[in-house]
Amino acid sequence: MTAPLLPMNDGRTIPQIGLGTWPLNDRQAETVVAEAVAIGYRHIDTAVRYGNETGVGRGIAGCGVPREQLFVTTKVDGEFQGADRAAGGIAGSLRRLGLDYVDLLLIHWPLPERDQYVSTWRTLERLRTEGLTRSIGVSNFKPSHLERLMAESSVVPAVNQIQVHPFVTRQDHRRFGADHGILTVSYSPLGRAGELLRHPLLEGVARSHGKTPAQIVLRWHVQQGLVPIPKSADPRRLSENLDVFGFSLTAEELAAIGGLDTGKGVDSDVQGH
């Protein structure tokens, strides 16, 4: 069981469900990555900020699946923003991961007060040309940040990784991405602390499909062309999270789930995402 591949705007593809690794430590990440790959995951998401690239790399090295069959994402932190500084960021990431390249390199936050995300993006363009990353994208960028990036550079981001779930649907961000060929990768796709998964609406839809509330939420993501990256350290939940491609939600169910939006969008997650 593996996730289908979605096309990105640079001609490459990305598995539609990935494994989120925040806030796993190195020891946990090594175990979970190996278990997830054995279950069928081929998309692994990490970041300098998470402090677990070494563990993720060990899990990849020991998983038994050829490197070219895996899709690995990492993100450069704020200390690597500015002209050419991202080169040091990716060098450190590749060393910790034990890899020659990553499949997707993201700017973790725009940090507009520093006014360095455009120069950082141009460095990512060069790193892609040099083969250190296959694709480049951003995280936590608002439409206004993306507009400026596209106006002042030559490469449109392949993805924008933002927090999305039924309580925070980010319709404006997703619409802007879709209009410009930018895939939305959903972090924290199941919400926080289980509150979303206990909602009566989701429990009812889950019963009608013979699925768990988490599977219903993940199906809500994938059916709309999003790329969720749920995190779990439990092998049973890892399997369930990947098993969302054998059923469909109705248009009414999709609309009802999207209607759970609280109207309280959140900005960049200062806790690590």
Asked whether residue 130 is assigned to any structural domain, the reply reads yes
- pLDDT confidence bin for 265, thresholds 50/70/90: low
Q: What is the pLDDT of residues 55-92, one digit of tens each?
A: 999 999 999 999 999 999 999 999 999 999 999 999 99
User: Quick one: pLDDT at residue 12?
Assistant: 98
Nearest to 161 by CA among 238, 214, 109, 101: 109
Residue 161 pLDDT more than 50?
A: yes
> Are the C-beta atoms of 133 and 106 separated by less than 8 Å?
no
pLDDT range class, residue 47, cuts 50, 70, 90: very high
Which residue, chain included where needed, has tokens 């593996």? 2
pLDDT of residue 271: 46
| 202: phi then psi, degrees, rounded to nearest 5 | -70, -35
What residue numbers bound the domain in which 96 lies?
5-192+224-232
Q: What is the CATH number of the domain that holds 63?
A: 3.20.20.100
Q: Is residue 56 part of a domain?
A: yes
What is the rounded CA–CA span in Å between residue 130 and residue 133? 8
Let me know: does 131 contact 224? Beta carbons within 8 Å: no
- Write out pLDDT tens, residues 240-258: 999 999 999 999 999 999 9
Report yes or no on 181 lying in a domain.
Answer: yes
Strand partners, 71: 43
| Closest-CA residue to 205 (of 250, 237, 242) | 250
Mean pLDDT of the chain: 96
Query: Is 92 part of a structural domain of the chain?
Result: yes
DSSP string computed for 227-256: EE------HHHHHHHH--SS----HHHHHH
Q: What value does the mean pLDDT take over residues 190-204? A: 94
Total domains in the chain come to 1
Give the type of residue at 224: Q
Residue 56, SS3 per DSSP: helix
Residue 256 lies in a domain: no
Q: Is residue 86 part of a domain?
A: yes
Mean predicted confidence (pLDDT) in 104-121: 97
Given a cut of 50, whether residue 145 has pLDDT beyond it is: yes
Q: Which residues are catalytic?
A: 50
Return d(Cα 34, Cα 24) in angstroms, integer: 13
